[in-house]
A and B are shown apart, each in its own frame.
Chain A
């Protein structure tokens, strides 16, 4: 029974990763790649200041995006699960949340560019309202733009698992809390948030892995002014420096696995799977 799925996993998951790990030990010159077993790529990676700065930047993006997607995602899911009373409306509003996802990630991201640009809709509107005198430069090609795009792209990955967990909370628990004299805020803090933790954790894993592995959003929205690990890898690939790209990828993979490992120590998500 398990054999076909094992075959698929080995062929499409284990083999490619093993390949990356193997290549990460190879040597490369400007014009050739030499199979070897050499720690040169890793030595270069860990010896370079750039690596640490780029990893730090990647963590920064992940952390800020996580905070915003969690805040927005929780609020949206809470509204859907506890304020919208009829199942029909819940379904309708939930589908509405997913409509933007009918277009591709890249198109949704790029459509921010005319909106945020120097002479874009945001700036001209703010000027016409008299809020600002001169166009804001930091709206586009900045960390702000990168994080805005990340939050826009990935909030749904937070909404879905949190909504799913919230829908499984027995409504009589809320009544029991109210019977015990809990206010709305107390119910939120003492009942809903603890019971929604597994959903928040699943959403967190989605968002953190997506943001840490991304390179295209950072490239477009920062106007190639910021870097994250994904861009480091894509630059290496562009230069055909596959061994170096592989080594970076292995380090990134391990980093993400460690982060998830730490997260899973805090919350038990087994019941949600």
Chain B
């Protein structure tokens, strides 16, 4: 497999549907050969962005560059991108091998060559044994691997994945997640993966691009985004954070950096709203002054040395060094 390090760049990319702006002049340079996740709630413009990169939506304004050349006006197959669709979009009337070899057939390669190449691709995704089956006869995970093989057979520089794991059950989702990561490392090409699941993005991505309301809220490595969310939206969406309004401004603090103690011991006073046992941790939520809700992830052993019940008064303690100032 060839390793491609063409850089994908969005320059002021805009998508308008009539009067509504789905994507508002976003700029971003994706890491070449990296695994990027576009993360955001539904309707934030992440899918439109992906579809514009793929060429299935016309860019209203701005440019998409791949390896320095503008691909915004090229047809999907000429861009060096390949897309894996959310529901896989396998052709129901074609066998697994014919599905994978579809693009080669369109190019006019003869049957022998294209089936040989499809065989190689199926080996890569570990499906050689099922090449004569129809898509209907495969499980969800198998269908997904066929879709992957079909997208990769054109040897794209960038693979675009539109919520690839959303149709799978939770157990399979975690397994396929590992498989996607392995494939990306082996192939060394850029993956751009759209998802609304923060756990998926954190687990997979070298680079997370958080979108909201048609703009990019924050982009950076998974650790950077998680540990230093720039806005209240990012802090809340990425999870594991409290957003607290203090006299000095808005701050984010990780829920596992919040401790609980007796109100007499100091800290911010509040009353317990709910206690949820989660195994390693106990999730405690408390209401504090100003009608704000603060959650704390307390290690299990520590919680049960001095347990609290809903309604109890509590003091919430944290190290001010863990407070992280938000810009918005």
Contacts and interface: CB of A to CB of B under 8 A. Distances in A.
B89 A178 contact: no
Nearest to A178: B76
B233 interface: no
Contact of A173 (B56, B91, B106): B91
A181 B154 contact: yes
A217 to B, nearest CB: 36
A195 B86 CA distance: 20
Contacts of A177: 91, 102, 106
Report which residue of A170, A178, A180, A190 has the largest number of chain B beta carbons within 10 angstroms of its beta carbon.
A180
**Chain B interface size, under 10 / 10 to 19 / 20 to 34 / 35 or more:** 20 to 34
Contacts of A180: 77, 102-103, 106, 150, 154
A179 interface: yes
Interface in B161-192: none
Nearest to A173: B89
Contacts of B87: 170, 172
B89 A175 contact: yes
Interface in A171-213: 172-173, 175-183, 186, 190-191, 194-195
A181 B93 contact: no
Contact of B85 (A172, A181, A182): A172
Nearest to B79: A179
A84 to B, nearest CB: 18
Contacts of A175: 56, 76, 83, 85, 89
Contacts of B92: 195
B106 A181 contact: yes
Interface string B188-226: 000000000000000000000000000000000000000
A127 to B, nearest CB: 50
Contacts of A186: 106
A176 B103 CA distance: 10
Interface in A133-184: 170, 172-173, 175-183
A65 to B, nearest CB: 28
A183 B56 CA distance: 14
A186 B151 CA distance: 18
Interface in B93-144: 93, 102-103, 105-107
A189 to B, nearest CB: 10
B76 A170 contact: no
B82 interface: yes
B75 interface: yes
Report which residue of B85, B87, B89, B103 has the largest number of chain A beta carbons within 10 angstroms of its beta carbon.
B89
Interface string B67-86: 00000000111100011011
Interface in B147-167: 150-151, 154
Given A178-B76, A180-B150, A194 B93 contact: yes
A178 B57 CA distance: 12
Contact of A179 (B56, B86, B91, B107): B56
A182 B77 CA distance: 8
Contacts of B103: 179-182
B54 interface: yes
B89 A182 contact: no
Interface string B236-249: 00000000000000
A90 to B, nearest CB: 20
Interface of A: 170, 172-173, 175-183, 186, 190-191, 194-195
Interface of B: 54-56, 75-78, 82-83, 85-87, 89-93, 102-103, 105-107, 150-151, 154
Q: Which 5 A-B pairs have the closest CB atoms?
A: A181-B77, A180-B103, A176-B89, A172-B89, A182-B106
Given A170-B89, A179-B76, A195-B93, 19 more contacts: A170-B87, A172-B86, A172-B87, A173-B89, A175-B76, A175-B85, A177-B91, A178-B56, A179-B54, A179-B55, A179-B82, A179-B103, A179-B151, A180-B150, A181-B78, A181-B106, A181-B154, A182-B106, A191-B91
